[in-house]
Copies of this chain bind each other. A is one copy, B any other.
């Protein structure tokens, strides 16, 4: 019998894959200036340091580092991650930390633990499309909540909670993907109080927070969590290496942590021990904070080169003014269509991601996401000029 595609599950039938990752595949051309990715700069990735740490931990642990490990993760990494998170006001122990395959797996395990098909998840509009895809696979009802330049509008969140009775609110509070916007400091405690009041899980996805180039840091929403409703998701992908696939969830409620651990047992048994040990050693030796300071200096120059480059864009273009992260968000004058313009931009050797994909309800065709971490300031200026000319043509 010929293989019959009607065999696919209902959850997977409508899912066609991440547009971003498909755009990535077009970027083999070395002449392309890519504003499409979300990668750290190659200059921020220390393969020599990782090689040394790999040798050291394999010598230190021996064959036990190649054995099966606990699904809950290696305690040294859980503890060093808890210590690292003190800088954003989170007070937790290693026992509340679940190491994961990047924060991607953390959000997957959290959804798996709580969301039934049809359950509502509130999201910022726009939001990270990778998370939208995970929510769609679990057949969640995704409801966008309006944002302004200070992130989620609290009155709108409360209205949506009362109307939709969501199980979860998904927020990227710092240098958001895709907009670069940061949730205002004075909205954070009220948001923690609101989810505690109504009994909604708040997934605080915060992988960019340490990439701050301007302004003052503010505490995580999780810093104001009282009853375990806030689950904090962090990642070493943007700080040490995305290819190593090490992130973590902070889950203060033991029953929820247990459900996520059980979900992870069946997903991949555990995060590779070598990768956990390398990241732990990186933290333990105090390499992370100096590294962050170094890469932030470079990223700051790149971000400002991009912000300056908007002078080449058509009059009427509006863009965000991030203080960190990897992304700037722009809205072209109404009537322009960033998806339709993309092939022309690619022909002119510049790539970006059309903004419509980041809206759960689509639309917003005039928007686009621009990443500045993969090119030097001079190339960013050239790319922004070429983009501006493409859009004006």
A residues bordering B, Cβ < 8 Å? Answer: 1-5, 7-12, 15-18, 21, 24-25, 37, 39-40, 42-43, 45-48, 50-51, 54-55, 58-59, 61-71, 101-102, 104-105, 108, 112-116, 119, 130, 133-134, 137, 167, 196-199, 201, 227-229, 237, 240-245, 253, 255-256, 258-259, 261-263, 265-275
List chain B residues, Cβ under 8 A from A55: 51, 54-55
Check B9–A112 contact: CB distance below 8 A: yes
List chain B residues, Cβ under 8 A from A43: 63
Set B63, B114, B255: member contacting A42, Cβ < 8 A? B63
**What's the Cα separation between A241 and B243 when bound, in Å?**
19
Q: How far is the CB of A183 from chain B (nearest CB, A)?
A: 22
List chain B residues, Cβ under 8 A from A66: 45-47, 50, 240-244
Most chain-B CB neighbours within 10 Å: which of A61, A105, A228, A259?
Answer: A259
Check A227–B2 contact: CB distance below 8 A: yes
Q: How far is the CB of A90 from chain B (nearest CB, A)?
A: 17
**What's the Cα separation between A168 and B37 when bound, in Å?**
38
- Which single residue of chain B is at the shortest CB-CB distance from A243? B273
Q: How far is the CB of A260 from chain B (nearest CB, A)?
A: 9
List chain B residues, Cβ under 8 A from A241: 66-67
Q: How far is the CB of A117 from chain B (nearest CB, A)?
A: 9
List chain B residues, Cβ under 8 A from A267: 101, 104-105, 108, 267-268
Set B40, B46, B65, B243: member contacting A274, Cβ < 8 A? B243
Q: How far is the CB of A131 from chain B (nearest CB, A)?
A: 9
Check A9–B113 contact: CB distance below 8 A: yes
Check A228–B3 contact: CB distance below 8 A: yes
Check A1–B198 contact: CB distance below 8 A: yes
Q: A61-B47, A274-B243 are in contact. Are A12 and B259 (CB under 8 A)?
A: yes
**What's the Cα separation between A206 and B265 when bound, in Å?**
19
Check A68–B262 contact: CB distance below 8 A: no
**What's the Cα separation between A115 and B10 when bound, in Å?**
8
Q: How far is the CB of A205 from chain B (nearest CB, A)?
A: 14
Set B25, B198, B227, B245: member contacting A3, Cβ < 8 A? B227
- Which single residue of chain B is at the shortest CB-CB distance from A111? B9
Check B47–A67 contact: CB distance below 8 A: no
List chain B residues, Cβ under 8 A from A21: 70-71, 265
**What's the Cα separation between A9 and B266 when bound, in Å?**
16
